[in-house]
Structure 1
Amino acid sequence: MPTGPALRIDLFLLAGLFPGLTHAAALGAAVDYAVAAERAGFDGVWLAEHHFSAYGTCPSAVVLAGHLLGRTDRLRVGTAAAILPNRHPIALAEETALLDAVSGGRFDLGVARGGPWVDLEVFGTGLDRYGHDGFAAALDLLLAGLSGAGTVAGDRHRFPFREVAMVPVAERGLPVWVAATGSSTVGLAAARGLPLLLGMHDDDAAKAAMLHGYARAGTGTPRAGHASTHLALVADTVEEAEAALRRTMPAWLAAAGGSERIDGSAPPRRDAGAYLEHLLAIHPVGPPARCVRRLAATVSTTGVRRLLLMVEGAGERRRTLANIERLGREVLAPLRRLH
C-alpha cells in the first residue's frame, strides 16, 4: 500500500544534440517531449542547462521553462538546473517569481554550482563564484530574493548594492532545489533546509548515503522533497533496450566531457562506454515490470518521493515519444500503486 507523500514522476530533458539534429531540431524535440509527458500522465518536467556544449542545447532552462509553461496546462516545469554562478542571484529570483506568478505556481527552481568552466569568463562572474564561499553567498542572496520579503539588499563584498524592492514579490516564499554530487554541496544545502537534485551517476546505496549525510548536517526535513534522476527506456526485452542505448549514448555522453576549463587545462576524460554500462546496470531499462521494480527499489532504499526520468537516450525523436507513451501507460500507474 502507498505510504508517505504522493509519489511524483517527472521527465528530465537535456535537449541533447544527437547525430542528424540541428540545434533548433533538438530544442523542438524537447518541447514535443514535454507536451507528450503531460498527455502521458507525468507530473512534471525538469530542464537541464548547458553552455557551449553539444551535450545539451538549452543555454537557459528558465527561458525554456517559460515556453513550456505556456504550452501546457497541468505540468509542473522545473530547472535541473540553472547554473547559479553564471547569473546574478536577484535577476534569477525575479524571473522565478515571474514564472511562479504567471503559471499559477507551476514553476520549480533548481540550481547547480556547475564547474570551473569557461562560462565564468564569458559571463564575467569569475572563478570566485564557483568556489564554495562564492556559491554559498549567491545562494543566500537568491533565497533572500525568494523569501517573500518586499525588499532585498546586497552585501559589501560580492554583491554590493543598496536595498531595492522585489517586483514581483514571491508571495508564498519559494523552495529551491540544489543539484549535488559531493558532500560539500550536500552540507551547504542541508544547512539551509534545501532539497537535493540527485544525478544519474550514483546507485541507490550511494544516494541513500548522501541523504543520510544530508540528514546529519541539516536542520530538519526540507520543505519540498528530494529528487532522484534516472535513465529510463522501456522495451520488450532488456537486450533491445540496451542495444538501442549502446548505439547512441556513448558518443553523446562523450560530448559532456568537452567543456573548456576557465584556466585552459584539459578537463578530466571519462570512458563513455564504461559509464553507459554503469548506467545500464542501475537504472530502469528494459521491460515495464523491470522498470517498475528498479524505480520502486530506489524509493524504498532512499525514501525519495520524486523521480526524474531521462528519456532521450535512444536519440531518435519517434523512439523517444514512444518511450514516453509506454512509460506513462505501463510504468507510472503500477509504480504509483506500489508507492
Structure 2
Amino acid sequence: MMLTTAHPDHWTETEVFDYTMDFAVEADTLGYQSAWLLEHHFTRYGLCPNTLTMAGYVLGRTKRIKVGTAVVVLPLDHPIRIAEQTNLLDQLSHGRFVLGVGRGYFPRDFEAFGVDAGKSHVIQSEYVDIIRQIWREGTAKWDGETITLPDVTPFPTQYTRPEPVMYGVGQSPSTIEWAASRGLPLLMALIGSMEALRSNLDLYREIAESHGFDPESIPHALCSVAHVAATTQQARDDIFGNMAWWEQEHDNAAFTMEQLEKLPNYRFQYGEWQAAALRGDRTNEDFTNYALEHSVVGSVEDCVGKLERVAEETGVRNFLFGFEATLDRDRVLDTMNTFATEVLPRLGWKPDAEA
C-alpha cells in the first residue's frame, strides 16, 4: 500500500502521522508485502519531506513488511548520502527497505533547493549510477556532467547482496528506455489505456533484453487508488470529493503547462496535458472522473475483475494501492481489511510478507 500523508482540513498534522502509522501497522498485520512513502515539500498533498527518515520509523514499528520510497527525489539530495542512508536502513531492517527514486515534478522544490529543473533527468541518471557503483564497487569516485566525487568508500555497506532492488518512477518513453538499459523495475500509474501501458512495457522489454536483462524477472509495479463499497457507484461517491481535493492540491504544486513547455526534459508531461485537453478533461472534475475510471474502485466483484484484466493484459503482478481516499481512519482500515480478505485472495494472493 501507499502511505500518502495527505493533510486534509479535518486532520491535524499529528493525526496525519498517527493514522499513517496505524495504516502501516495494520498492513503489516494483514500480510501486505510492502508500504511505500511519498516525498513532498511545501504542500498539503503530502506532509513527508524525507521518506528515508520516515521509512526508518515505519520499519521500527513493523515486523515483516517491506518499506519503500515512492520516491526519494534524487536531484534534491546527494548520491553518497542516499547510498549511506539506504545501506543503513537495509542493514537495520535485514533487507526490508526498498529504494524508489524519481526526478521531481514540483517547481517550488527545485527553486527552494537550488536545483535546475531543466537538468533533473541528467542529475537523476548520474546519481542512480553513482549509488549502484557504490553498491557494486565500494567507491563513490565519479567525474560526470553534474557532479564530481572523490574516491571514498561509504559505510555501512549494503545488507542485501549483490545489491538492493531500486525502483524508478516512469511513464515517458525516454524514462522507460533509461530504466530498461539499467534493469531497473518501474513504478507506473494505472491511469490511461491498456494499449499505452502494454506499449510501454513492450518498449521496456525490448530495451532490457538488448542490454542483457531478463525482462520477465523484473518486478514492475502499478499504482492505483483503491476503494471498495457495496456498489461501484457508492465507492466512487465515497471518495470523489476527496480525490478532487487531492488532485487540486497536486495541480497547485505541480508544473504548469506554461512551465512544462519551456522544459524539454518534461516534454512527455507536457504532452499529457495536451492529451487531457483533447479528451475534454479540462476541469478538476473531469480529471477526477477520468482517474476513477482507471482506478481499482468499486464493488468487490468490480475490483477483482479490474485487477484480473490488468494482470492478464500487462503481465504485471505487483500493485501499490492507495487506500486513503475516504480520508476517514476507520474506513481506510476497513477497506484494507476487505481487500485482504475478499478481493486479493480471489487473485491468488496470500498474506505473506516474505514472498
TM-score by length of 2: 0.85
Comparing 149-158 with 194-203, greater Cα deviation is found at 149-158
Bigger proportion of residues as helix: 2
Question: Aligned pair in 2 of structure 1 residues 305, 92: CA closer, same or farther (>3 Å)?
Answer: same
Quote the Cα distance in structure 2 between the aligned partners of 1:137 and 1:14: 28
Q: Distance in 2 between matches of 1:326 and 1:315?
A: 17
> Who is 2:199 aligned against?
209
Report the alpha carbon displacement of residue 192 of structure 1 after superposing the two structures with TM: 0.8
Q: Quick check: 1:55–1:255 contact (8 Å CA) kept in 2?
A: yes
Unaligned runs of 5+ in 2: 262-269, 274-281, 351-355
Q: Is the 8 A contact 2:186 2:221 kept in 1?
A: yes
Residue 57 (1) aligns with residue 47 (2): yes
Conserved in 2, the CA contact under 8 Å of 1:128 and 1:134?
no
Match of 1:289 in 2: 301
Return the offset for 1:47: 1.1
What's the counterpart of residue 292 of structure 2? 280
Distance apart, 1:296 and its partner CA: 1.5
Structure 1 segment 1-339 matched on structure 2, within 5 A: 11-115=1-105, 117-127=107-117, 129-130=119-120, 132-147=121-136, 149-155=137-143, 157-171=145-159, 172=161, 173-218=163-208, 219=211, 220-221=213-214, 224-259=218-253, 271-336=283-348
What is the rounded CA distance, in whole Å, between the counterparts of 1:260 and 1:325 in structure 2? Answer: 33
CA contact (8 A) 1:66 1:99 kept: yes
Q: Which moved more, 1:70-79 or 1:283-292?
A: 283-292
Query: Percentage identity across aligned positions?
Result: 32
Q: Which amino acid aligns with 1:195?
A: P
Secondary structure class of the residue paired with 2:68: strand
Over 3 Å counting, the alpha-carbon distance change for 1:238 and 1:266 in structure 2 is: same
CA–CA distance in structure 1, aligned partners of residues 132 and 255 of structure 2: 28
Distance in 2, matches of 1:205 and 1:139, equals: 29
CA distance, structure 2, for counterparts of residue 116 and residue 67 of structure 1: 26
Query: How far 1:319 sits from its partner (Å)?
Result: 1.2
1:155-207 Cα distance to aligned partner (Å, 9 max, x none) = 15422221001201125111211001211111110111111000143343322
Deviations, residues 272-293 of structure 1 (Å, cap 9, x unaligned): 2212211221222122121111
Question: Are the equivalent residues in 2 in contact too, given 1:116–1:127 (CA < 8 A)?
Answer: no
The answer (yes or no) to whether the contact 1:260–1:266 under 8 Å persists in 2 is no
Q: Is the 8 A contact 1:227 1:304 kept in 2?
A: yes
Q: Distance in 1 between matches of 2:93 and 2:140?
A: 24
Describe the SS at the equivalent of 1:292: helix
Deviation, structure 1 residue 27: 2.0
**Cα distance change of structure 1 residues 73 and 289 upon mapping to structure 2, 3 Å threshold:** same
> How many Å apart are 1:258 and its aligned residue?
1.5
Distance 1:260 1:113 in 2: 13
Mean alpha-carbon deviation: is it higher for 200-209 or for 290-299? 200-209
Provide closer, same or farther for how the CA distance between residues 153 and 128 of structure 1 changes in structure 2, counting only shifts above 3 A: farther
Find the counterpart in structure 1 of residue 276 from structure 2.
none
Q: CA RMSD in A?
A: 2.2
* Aligned residues of 2:191 and 2:295 also touching (Cα < 8 A): no
| SS of residue matched to 2:348 | helix
Deviation at 1:60, TM superposition (A): 1.2
Task: Report the 3-state secondary structure (helix = DSSP H, G, I; strand = E; otherwise coil) of the residue aligned with 1:105.
Answer: coil
Alignment gaps of 5+ in structure 1: 1-10
Q: Distance between the aligned counterparts of 2:144 and 2:234, measured in 1?
A: 58
Name the SS for the 1:232 alignment partner: strand
TM-score by length of 1: 0.89
The amino acid across from 1:331 in the alignment is V
Aligned mates of 1:46, 1:33 — CA distance in 2: 11
1:291 is aligned with what amino acid?
C
